[in-house]
Amino acid sequence: MLTFRAILFYLGLGVISIVASMLLVMTSPIVKRRLRFKFVSYCNRTVLQWMKITCGVSFEITGLHNIPKNQPLVVACNHQGDWETFYLLTMGLPVSTVLKRELLYIPFFGWALAMLNPIAIDRKRKTNALKQLSQQGCERLGAGISVLIFPEGTRCPPGKLGPCTKGAAMLAHQAGVPILPIVQNSGHLSPPHKWLKHAGKVDVRIGKPIIADVTTKEMHAQMVGWMTENLAEIS
């Protein structure tokens, strides 16, 4: 039964991804960026609803009031699976995601990602990656677009926060914008690199913005401290 539900979910996800990707690619020359973000947000809400119907995965959010209005942010979230990649694009924020460049080569899915102006990093060239994050991240934030970063850099097992890079704090401090820390525990329903999804509830916590009035090191320490403490509480 678990296998059947997962297959049903991924079939629906495939249909949604192909249709949405084709529409994005065809309309991107004439549709403004913010409308493209709204369309993607709607598609991701549809995916989350489909996941609830087919796999029984629901979610509960604490701290929505902590999201500032009309202000670009560096959004930092832990990474456990694919659930959060859908949810984080439904928060009502125009977002440019920091991701590995290889994702843009995936047919349909990658083409659609490219229409959202992500910051596509070559992880094999770490020095250039930091420069790219700094330059393109500041450009996005200056244009009023938030930047989404997974500080762990990869999917990590549920239960505790993996080692975090200072990229989020560095960018936030350089651009003079807050970090919005988020933790979630989707990994206990769908472990990293596993395709089966167990029924249950994902807990999401959104913290208070970390203001860029301290050093990069202090911003990073505050971010990691909050994420570590709150992830432990919901794991």
Which of 175, 229, 209 shows the shortest CA–CA distance to 76?
209
Total domains in the chain come to 1
| pLDDT digit string, tens, across residues 216-234 | 999 999 999 999 999 999 9
How many Å apart are CA 98 and CA 129, to the nearest integer? 10
The whole-number pLDDT of residue 107 equals: 78
Within 13 A of 20's CA, how many CA atoms are on the CB side? 25
* Count of beta carbons in the 10 Å neighbourhood of residue 203: 19
How far are the Cα atoms of 7, 17, 134, 151, 164 from residue 174, in angstroms, in the given order? 44, 35, 8, 17, 18
pLDDT score recorded for residue 141: 95
In angstroms, the CA 4 to CA 186 distance is: 20
pLDDT digits (tens, 9 = 90+) for 90-142: 987 789 999 888 888 887 777 777 878 899 888 777 778 888 999 999 999 99
Distance CA 39, CA 35 (A): 6
DSSP per position, 16-85: HHHHHHHHHHHHTTTS-HHHHHHHHHHHHHHHHHHHHHHH-EEEEEE-GGGS-SS---EEEE---SSHHH
Confidence check: pLDDT of 211 > 90: yes
Q: Give tens-digit pLDDT for 178-195.
A: 999 999 999 999 876 677
Q: Domain holding 135: CATH number? A: 3.40.1130.10
Instruction: Compute CA 93 distance to the chain's CA centroid, rounded to the nearest angstrom.
Output: 11
Token pair of 41, please? 């947000």
What residue numbers bound the domain in which 198 lies?
2-234
> Quick check: 213 pLDDT over 70?
yes
| Residue 38 or residue 231, greater confidence | 231
Answer yes or no: is pLDDT of 88 > 70.
yes
> Pseudo-torsion of CA 105, 111, 117, 118, nearest 10°?
-40
What does the alpha-carbon distance between residue 19 and residue 145 come to, in Å, rounded to a whole number?
A: 25
From the number of C-beta atoms within 10 Å of its C-beta (0-12, 13-18, 19+), residue 178 rates as buried
User: In terms of DSSP bridges, do strands 179-184 and 200-206 run parallel, antiparallel, or are they unpaired?
Assistant: antiparallel
Is residue 34 very low, low, confident or very high in pLDDT (cuts 50, 70, 90)?
confident
Rounded to whole angstroms, the Cα distance separating 231 from 203 reads 10
